[in-house]
């Protein structure tokens, strides 16, 4: 018998409880597409929290989405540390050059204070407006970059790897500072109305570092950081693999894991069953070239593999759908979830 229609919040909470809701929740994350809806450049769109609020509300209705996101761009955090942001016309803003150039910079740096930076305040404003608009009917997901992954933007990837391996005292000093900022930033978003926090931690993925190093670093940091966040969390490895650390990720306290298109959903469901809800795993890069037939085939397969029994939210595998993905494909994704995602799931 079909389940009674639920609100987005009810649908997601049921899924997180590893039970079957009325249908598979859809977390469609075309973060930049709000600029298209408002006929703005990406730079202008992200200049004010009011713009992102308006764009998110349009996208929520347009694609019958089950989530609202307050995410602007990853560099918003390093912007608070004093870095520039590089804008482009057809893609996400990127962080400019890092501010850590020597070990002395780690010794002398100051942790940004939440509330003193316009780049953070506009995110909080968008969060507040979204909460006022939807109350508890739709989840609002805030975002933080993990203390372990933020240094890629603070100092550059190669220099950061050198720090991890060759300067352990300074590495842990940087982790302590980043942890304080991460916790404060997460809790500020929750205080303004975010329902949960997505903890982006791509450097922890086995795609980037081996399991043995993760245990000594990213895992230890996540296990110490996440309990200090005053709300539920989801860990996202930003399209990186997770199966080799599937036994460790649930122990950090996150309820959700963002999973890669490079790993099999059936194996992922078995590895995380009743431990973490899967979020994913549509390939956003390939999505730019999908046909409607591709969408139906891929959505149907993903739902059949991962949705039975609950514990699955369909989304892209990176946390941000590329600017080049067309409205028609996004509409087809939404329609396909409604066609194939109603419980009980048909597996043939």
Residue 68 scores a pLDDT above 70: yes
pLDDT band at 346 (very low <50, low <70, confident <90, very high): confident
Q: What pLDDT does 91 receive?
A: 95
Percent of the chain residues past pLDDT 70, beyond the cut: 99
* Listed residue (195, 186, 89, 80) closest to 143, CA to CA: 186
The predicted-structure confidence for 13-63, as pLDDT tens digits, reads as follows: 999 999 999 999 999 999 999 999 999 999 999 999 999 999 999 999 999
Residue 1 scores a pLDDT above 70: no
pLDDT band at 347 (very low <50, low <70, confident <90, very high): confident
Q: What pLDDT does 3 receive?
A: 65
Domain 8-340 has CATH 3.20.20.210: yes
* Listed residue (252, 342, 228, 340) closest to 295, CA to CA: 340
Report the SS3 class of residue 64: coil
Residues 187-193 have a mean pLDDT of 98
The predicted-structure confidence for 118-132, as pLDDT tens digits, reads as follows: 999 999 999 999 999
User: Domain spans of the chain?
Assistant: 8-340
Q: What pLDDT does 4 receive?
A: 81
Cβ-contact 46, 52 below 8 angstroms? yes
């Amino acid at each position: 018998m079909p389940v009674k229609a639920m609100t987005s919040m009810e649908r997601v909470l049921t899924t997180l409880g590893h039970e079957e809701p009325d249908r598979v929740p859809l977390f469609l994350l075309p973060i930049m597409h709000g600029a298209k809806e408002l006929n703005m450049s990406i730079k202008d769109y992200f200049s004010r929290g009011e713009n992102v609020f308006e764009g998110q509300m349009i996208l929520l209705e347009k694609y019958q989405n089950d989530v609202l996101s307050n995410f602007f761009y990853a560099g918003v955090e390093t912007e608070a540390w004093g870095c520039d942001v590089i804008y482009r016309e057809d893609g996400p803003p990127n962080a400019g050059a890092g501010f850590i150039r020597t070990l002395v910079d780690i010794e002398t740096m100051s942790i940004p204070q939440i509330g003193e930076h316009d780049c953070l305040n506009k995110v909080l404003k968008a969060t507040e407006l979204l909460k006022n608009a939807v109350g508890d009917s739709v989840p609002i997901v805030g975002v933080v970059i993990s203390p372990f992954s933020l240094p890629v933007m603070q100092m550059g990837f190669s220099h950061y790897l050198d720090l991890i391996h060759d300067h352990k005292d300074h590495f842990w000093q940087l982790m302590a500072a980043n942890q304080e900022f991460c916790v404060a930033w997460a809790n500020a978003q929750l205080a303004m109305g975010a329902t949960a926090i997505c903890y982006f931690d791509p450097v922890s993925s086995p795609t980037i570092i081996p399991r043995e190093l993760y245990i000594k670093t990213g895992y230890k940091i996540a296990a110490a950081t996440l309990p200090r966040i005053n709300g539920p969390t989801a860990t996202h490895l930003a399209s990186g693999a997770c199966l080799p650390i599937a036994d460790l990720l649930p122990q950090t306290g996150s309820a959700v894991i963002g999973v890669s298109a490079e790993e099999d959903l059936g194996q992922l469901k078995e590895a995380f069953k009743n431990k973490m809800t899967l979020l994913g795993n549509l390939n956003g890069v390939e999505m730019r070239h999908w046909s409607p037939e591709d969408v139906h085939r891929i959505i149907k397969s993903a739902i059949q593999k991962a949705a039975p029994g609950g514990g699955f939210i369909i989304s892209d595998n990176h946390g941000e759908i590329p600017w080049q993905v067309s409205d028609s494909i996004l509409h087809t994704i939404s329609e396909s979830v409604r066609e194939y995602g109603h419980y009980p799931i048909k597996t043939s």
